[in-house]
Amino acid sequence: MSLAIEDSSSLTLTSNMKLLSIDIETTGLCPRSCSVLEVGAVIFDPQPVKSDANSVRIEHTRPATFECLIKHSQIIGEPYAIQMNNEIIQELAGVKETHRQILTASQFTHHFGQWIVQNIGTDQKIHPCGKNYGSFDQQFLQKMPGWDALVKPHLDFRSLDVGSLYFSPDDGKILGLPKCLEKIGCPGLVTHRALDDALAVMTAITRFFN
């Protein structure tokens, strides 16, 4: 995939700035009483390439992806979220076949931290991004056992939100991911499965720099 940027001086994504798109599916909105059911993540690395004197082309290789389901002894949450994530719950219960790995919360933070290190090394931090990472996903993830020790050290404290990128006063509010994708002609990418939505965030960010 290549994205053209006419003014190279405005380029803010660089080849040494990897981004980590994270999305989660949960049993509700409250981190204190609800749980993470599924995690999806994508690491992508835009690489600016000079195509001529006046333009820069952003190219990134096939992104590294991570996804898993989080198993719980009990699933407690809010009715609308339980209904929306019924397919995930069926996969966790073994009622429906799944290709996704199923991990405990502790196993997740161990595997996720290792996956990040495998893709970025130990000498740099990566910027998280998402559709509401700072105000939602992060609040759940930082409660996962081992997050502070195994994952947080690899994350930059600055995060990028898709809604802020596409904000326009004419909208009257900051848009959610589906509306941002509609703006760039990519409707229908949001499925409420974690990896799909993490990939949709990657699409929205890279298209923003087109």
114-141 per-position pLDDT tens digit: 999 999 999 999 999 999 999 999 999 9
**What does the pLDDT look like over 148-188, one tens digit per residue?**
999 999 999 999 999 999 999 999 999 999 999 999 999 99
The number of distinct structural domains making up the chain is: 1
| Mean pLDDT, rounded, of the chain | 88
Length of the chain measured in residues: 210
Residue 194 sits in a domain whose CATH number is 3.30.420.10
How does pLDDT run across 3-26, given as a tens digit for each residue?
Answer: 333 333 343 455 567 899 999 999
Which residues, listed in sequence order, are joined to residue 20 by a DSSP beta bridge? 43, 128
Strands 101-103 and 64-70, by their bridges, are parallel
Q: How far apart are CA 125 and CA 87, in angstroms?
A: 34
Residue 199, domain extent: 2-208
CB 82 within 8 A of CB 189: no
Global pTM exceeds 0.85: yes
